[in-house]
């Protein structure tokens, strides 16, 4: 078995030439870096963990999918089936971020409170806490989606 044939290397090069993909990933990265800035401004401390966690301001998921949909619209056409797929995908991801995952985070917070109260005398039972910051508020999703659109439009204008 041959690993790293010329065709496989060319495919990787094609992926790196995909401006729509790179801009979407850039939007996600910028949103994650902005989370670090928001954390510094709001809590007056540097928390590197926000770079790899879900939740927070702005929504990196929303920035990623709206930059992707905007890039597809710009590259292929706003009336194309490809844009329709990307736009519907973006709506589903953003709905999930602000709806389902936000609700799951609220449930985790309540369950953690119940565990705290039930097992005060036995801390060993209370070691595994549920992750509470899972989703986003609607504002975080809106800011993330606006960021994604702006980055995609700016990248297209610069390219």
- Domain for residue 95, yes or no? yes
pLDDT above 70 for 4 = no
Q: What are the tens digits of pLDDT across the range 53-101?
A: 777 889 999 999 999 999 999 999 999 999 999 999 999 999 888 776 6
Q: How many residues does the chain have?
A: 159
The DSSP string of 22-33 is HHHHHHHHHHHH
C-alpha span between 9 and 145 (Å, rounded): 33
- Please indicate, yes or no, if residue 113 is contained in any of the structural domains: no
Between CA 144 and CA 83 the distance in angstroms is: 19
Question: Percent of the chain, pLDDT > 90?
Answer: 44
Consecutive H or E run containing 80: none
- The answer to whether residue 8 scores a pLDDT higher than 90 is no
Residue 116 lies in a domain: no
Position 87 scores a pLDDT of 98
Decide if 16 is inside a domain.
yes
Q: What is the DSSP letter of 130?
A: P
Higher pLDDT, 137 or 74: 74
* Separation CA 72–CA 74 (nearest Å): 5
* Statement: residue 39 has pLDDT above 70: yes
Residue 33 lies in a domain: yes
pLDDT at position 7 = 66
Question: Looking at the domain assignment, is residue 153 inside a domain?
Answer: yes
Name the residue range of residue 25's domain. Answer: 6-99+135-158
Highest averaged pLDDT of the listed ranges 13-17, 53-57, 68-72, 105-109: 68-72
pLDDT at residue 83, rounded to an integer: 98
Within a domain: residue 21? yes
- Answer yes or no: is 46 within a domain: yes
Confidence of residue 124 (pLDDT cuts 50, 70, 90): low
Look at residue 27 in the predicted model and tell me its pLDDT: 97
Q: In the chain, how many domains are there? A: 1
């Amino acid at each position: 078995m041959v690993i790293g044939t010329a065709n496989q290397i060319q495919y990787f090069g094609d992926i790196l030439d995909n401006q729509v993909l790179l801009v979407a990933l850039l939007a996600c990265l910028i949103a994650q870096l902005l989370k670090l800035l928001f954390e510094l401004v709001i809590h007056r401390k540097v928390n590197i963990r926000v770079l790899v966690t879900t939740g927070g301001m702005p929504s990196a998921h929303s920035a990623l999918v709206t930059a992707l949909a905007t890039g597809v619209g710009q590259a292929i056409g706003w009336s194309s089936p490809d844009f329709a797929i990307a736009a519907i995908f973006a709506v589903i991801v953003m709905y999930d971020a602000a709806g389902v995952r936000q609700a799951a985070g609220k449930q985790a917070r309540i369950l953690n409170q119940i565990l705290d109260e039930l097992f005060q005398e036995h801390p060993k039972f209370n070691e595994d806490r549920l992750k509470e910051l899972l989703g986003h508020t609607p504002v975080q999703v809106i800011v993330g989606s606006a960021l994604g659109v702006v980055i995609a439009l700016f990248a297209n204008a610069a390219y």
